[in-house]
Structure 1
């Protein structure tokens, strides 16, 4: 009875794991394509129907683990075991290759993959094996376990809860700690340069990398240096499935209206060869960071949404700025600086004409 109870407890634990994983991925839609890329799989698996369906499949598997305790219970337990084994192999391969990306196993971007991640997934595989052994041996059903001891049931819930807490802690979001330090939003110069209010903005060279068009721009390639031939350019680095990025998308018209004469474009990671149709609504150019070189050089990989302003002199004029509020504040400040520059130009022009006369 003890072994049968232990195998049933393993099955309950696996159900909790897949509930946490599925819900986490639904809350952070960009986690699946980012995980696919981090694990070295074809990007289409993360951005196509399979990527969108995967969190729901995990929840269906969790429901089956909770509800199927008879002979048919072998099916979901075996499926869970194969899934855990597959992820163990993929994570092991990624760690061996030296990756520093997070597996996003529970939706949130956590610590980089390591041997601990491999051991954790291996432990889940062994847990599924134990649950499968219990099903094969004809272990008790869930209602039998509940009838035979409330104390045992309570102990089971405590064990499952503690184990899930450990997994969640290991996969806790690390975006805030890992995000690059933000410069003061008011401390950027836009040509012509103005003095910073707090400390001088440290201008860095703009990345000179190739971008690939997607959506209406499909098949087009250009260098980032071409973006500033006729004036400064705002690059909005986004993910098609992140909630904050959708908020930036909804304010696309507001951004372009505030920055006349400034090129504005959406830039996606290399994993996104196609994006939902709603991203075409503002009419802004859509590009993908072909080799993730632009984001990598600026240290904004997987940190979305982000804004940078490319100056005409080959240097960054603002950013990176992260988050909707910071992005919109920066857009307003860019607009103010540009308006001051235009007013100054309008004032200087009559004087110049008078001097020429």
Structure 2
């Protein structure tokens, strides 16, 4: 008798959980269209899937699948569950492939929610979601559905479902509480403390090498850290030439890559510097690109490090405003 009562509860939890993940993901992507497009680039989705069209359609597909998982009778649910399982498996394959790339990958898999760094934990999460999709297919194939499971639940069954929901919410709140804010490398509420430029070196495509301090000794330098495994970096790179022209001659802009890969460059290659061992990133505690640091000509940091396309753009605009208000002042 106990086993019979638990089957509807399990069916309901599996389908509702998968539907909730898809609905949350789809709704978040609707509010993060550009981030979703960037994810297509970061994960190197095959060219036959247009980035803009895919980013526009994917949120609605996820929301439709979520609704279908909750509302469909078992015969229709089989098709919906198979589609959801295939989608989850596709995500898992893309993430697994991304882990083989030379540079770290960032991906807004849940829009603006959650951490965006693709790592082994991301793969584990997606494998579990793929398993949940397969379980949903099994539930549907066995004649299960959300309406049917809800109608078959008795009081102990509802108690089991309620307890599982509470546990899931508590776990989600605990995990969210420990997540750092994306793009924040310091306390924005504190006054900026200028510190000496650290000892680190950059390599250049012509085979030369120069320390950060020597690089800034002849003038201020804005270091913009980019990566070929980051869709947001592509958007930043599209503005680099314009920023460089507007900042010159007071501030020279240098783009910093951890490898020689230039397939996503959208700027003058003469601006490129290399940080092959990620040493410069490490001394500035930069976890991922895009990011920026402003080196002052006086041997002190003048801005950053900070991360994210919006913050980098704001830094450039702030520097330009300073230059316009004091055109004869040394930076």
CA gap of 1:68–1:79, structure 2 versus 1, over 3 A, is same
1:251-281 deviations in whole A, cap 9, x for unaligned?
x99x96xx6866899x9x999979xxxxxxx
Match of residue 123, structure 2, among 114, 118, 123: 118
1:129 aligns with 2:96: no
CA gap of 1:341–1:34, structure 2 versus 1, over 3 A, is closer
2:71 corresponds to which residue? 67
Whether the 8 Å contact between 1:84 and 1:121 is mirrored in structure 2 is: yes
Deviation at 1:29, TM superposition (A): 3.9
CA distance in 1, matches of 2:28, 2:223: 29
Match of residue 142, structure 1, among 137, 141, 147: 147
Whether the 8 Å contact between 2:16 and 2:146 is mirrored in structure 1 is: no
Q: TM-score, normalised by structure 2?
A: 0.60
Match of residue 41, structure 1, among 18, 35, 45: 45
Deviation at 1:333, TM superposition (A): 4.0
CA distance in 1, matches of 2:293, 2:47: 25
Whether the 8 Å contact between 2:38 and 2:232 is mirrored in structure 1 is: no
1:16 aligns with 2:20: yes
Match of residue 90, structure 2, among 86, 93, 113: 86
Question: Structure 1: 5+ residue runs without aligned partners?
Answer: 188-197, 211-230, 275-285, 343-357
Whether the 8 Å contact between 1:39 and 1:90 is mirrored in structure 2 is: yes
CA distance in 1, matches of 2:273, 2:8: 50
Deviation at 1:209, TM superposition (A): 6.3
What secondary structure is seen at the aligned counterpart in 2 of 1:64?
A: helix
CA distance in 1, matches of 2:220, 2:115: 32
1:339 corresponds to which residue? 328
Whether the 8 Å contact between 2:201 and 2:280 is mirrored in structure 1 is: no
CA distance in 1, matches of 2:272, 2:80: 38
CA distance in 1, matches of 2:34, 2:102: 23
Question: Structure 2: 5+ residue runs without aligned partners?
Answer: 207-218
CA gap of 1:80–1:316, structure 2 versus 1, over 3 A, is farther
Whether the 8 Å contact between 2:9 and 2:161 is mirrored in structure 1 is: no
Match of residue 3, structure 1, among 1, 7, 11: 7
1:26 aligns with 2:30: yes
CA distance in 2, matches of 1:50, 1:291: 31
Deviation at 1:339, TM superposition (A): 2.8
CA gap of 1:21–1:160, structure 2 versus 1, over 3 A, is farther
Whether the 8 Å contact between 2:26 and 2:63 is mirrored in structure 1 is: yes
CA distance in 2, matches of 1:144, 1:271: 54
RMSD over aligned Cα atoms: 5.3
Deviation at 1:49, TM superposition (A): 1.3
Give the count of matched residue pairs. Answer: 290
1:63-106 deviations in whole A, cap 9, x for unaligned?
22122133111111111111222223333344466864455432
Match of residue 109, structure 2, among 84, 90, 105: 105
CA distance in 2, matches of 1:138, 1:16: 21
2:212 corresponds to which residue? none
CA gap of 1:173–1:209, structure 2 versus 1, over 3 A, is farther
Matches within 5 A, 1:299-314: 299=281, 303=289, 306-307=291-292
CA distance in 2, matches of 1:204, 1:124: 42
CA gap of 1:316–1:208, structure 2 versus 1, over 3 A, is farther
